[in-house]
Structure 1
């Protein structure tokens, strides 16, 4: 049978099978992926001085990796990450974690399926957050966020208290992403690769939304087609391939990242 007579669903399935067979993915460990994520997002404009945290669950129960407070995303390497427990006690590494990591503890506690959290203040997301408007997904490229990005309209102030952790973890609900009014973004993933892709896409979506709003009225896309695109892009192999591409780019100028 020629592919010209196959249904769309069959072609999608065939494409996924070929991706699983042919796409090569490097075998990085968790700390290496986390360090690469910091460098990738730095290059993508997610740095905001020392603001923002990127964490990943460790193999030890109720523990996760995070950056040292005082280091920017462009300074993070696999060797200078901290291992902390749910009370932010340092178990290995030097220095201290950001006290704002407390809300990561709450998200991990309330969402056991999540293994990576990215919280940053990139320019376009932060600008959109000032308008107190939720993210609008109206383009094929950003459809992994379609019906998958919650909105927290009430700014809880600095997220160092348990109250803020409860509010943020509850606002996330069953979504993978959260736009925080007057603040920034939070994205989650079952893997580091998934979270990295969503963080990259939400900043692009915010930039597109602001540009479209300045030009006219944003037109919606059909929900069934947006859901189809959401599921087409939202696969483990796609996350891995996306991550590997941006990691190769980052390593050209951040050779110290994996040392």
Structure 2
């Protein structure tokens, strides 16, 4: 006999959140492993654009972060060839040089203490939408983690290798977790690598859906209260961990070389 068919939604939501906390524990992966897996996940998700784009995560020491080595594509990143750099992009661990465009990551990390991972890429659909100088519109349930959480920078400041671009992009991002950069691409942030990776997958999907919907008619808005409810429901740490673990297992089947043999996810 069913016992929950008459329970209110908030009760059911609370129960589901408790169950997720019980069933999905903390990840045992290192930051290096999460970043390497994220590179492969995003490569498979259409985020590669030659050597463009940077994926970073804060290091253990203040003012440091991990990033990929310039000259390697997302499909070539492993936990052992990542670099650890400081805010001036001096290499502290590893061999090679970082992408000079990593400079604007330093500005975002300084402005946002809550951000521990930044993903900036030029995926096809997000970059195409950015060419239209149109903000991202969230109007479908799956992409609601980005509802009212994606800023828009309409003026292209040029290649982001100077401090000016760092100031402009960090200011435009504000307190949002994501931003669409006109004539450029996308950027997402997360308190964890898992959160940022999930948002990067979603922003490209949302841009693709928006372009498809715009080609067929007018995109209709979501009810704000329900959209905010969905945003919060789909943005919890445990959901981020579960989603990332799925993406990571799938990536590891395609790219078993990116982390040490025997790594458990």
- Preserved contact between residue 137 and residue 145 of structure 1 (Cα < 8 Å): yes
Q: How far apart are residue 112 of structure 1 and its match?
A: 1.0
Which residue is equivalent to 1:128?
Answer: 129
Q: For 1:137-182, what per-residue CA distance to the aligned partner results, in whole angstroms no more than 9, with x for missing partners?
A: 0000000000000000010000000000000000000100000000
Which residue is equivalent to 1:173?
Answer: 174
Q: How far apart are residue 111 of structure 1 and its match?
A: 0.6
How many Å separate the matches in 2 of 1:60 and 1:232? 32
How many Å separate the matches in 2 of 1:70 and 1:257? 16
Please state if 1:21 is matched with 2:22. Answer: yes
Which residue is equivalent to 1:49?
Answer: 50
Give 1:187-226 correspondences, 5 Å limit.
187-226=188-227
Segments ≥4 residues shifted beyond 6 Å: none
Q: How far apart are residue 26 of structure 1 and its match?
A: 4.3
How many Å separate the matches in 2 of 1:194 and 1:26? 13
Q: For 1:189-210, what per-residue CA distance to the aligned partner results, in whole angstroms no more than 9, with x for missing partners?
A: 0000000010000000000000
Q: For 1:217-248, what per-residue CA distance to the aligned partner results, in whole angstroms no more than 9, with x for missing partners?
A: 01111000000100010000000000000000
How many Å separate the matches in 2 of 1:31 and 1:112? 20
- Preserved contact between residue 25 and residue 244 of structure 1 (Cα < 8 Å): no
Unaligned runs of 5+ in 2: 261-265
Which residue is equivalent to 2:258?
Answer: 257
TM-score normalized with structure 1 length: 0.99
How many Å separate the matches in 2 of 1:101 and 1:221? 35
Give 1:55-66 correspondences, 5 Å limit.
55-66=56-67
RMSD: 0.9
Q: For 1:95-149, what per-residue CA distance to the aligned partner results, in whole angstroms no more than 9, with x for missing partners?
A: 0000000000000011111000000000000000000000000000000000000
How many Å separate the matches in 1 of 2:96 and 2:250? 29
